[in-house]
Amino acid sequence: LTGDADYLLKIALRDLKGLSDIVNNVLMPHDSVAHVRSSIVLDCLKATRKLPL
C-alpha cells in the first residue's frame, strides 16, 4: 500500500446510509482517525484472487 493512505478497508454494504453509519459512528470517533476517503464500486468484474492454472 503506497501513497497517503495508512489503511485500506474493504466492506460491502446495502446502501449509502450504511456507509455513512460506519464512517460517522465507527471510524471517525477514534482519535487516531484524522480523515476518511471512500470509493464506491458500482459493478464487480472479478471477485476472486485465484489465478487460472
* The pLDDT of residue 43: 86
The answer to whether the beta carbons of residues 38 and 27 sit under 8 Å apart is: no
* The pLDDT of residue 31: 94
The domain limits of the chain are 1-40
One-letter amino acid of 34: A
Question: 14-49, pLDDT tens digit by residue?
Answer: 999 999 999 999 999 999 999 999 999 888 887 777
* The pLDDT of residue 1: 60
The answer to whether the beta carbons of residues 1 and 8 sit under 8 Å apart is: yes
* The pLDDT of residue 20: 97
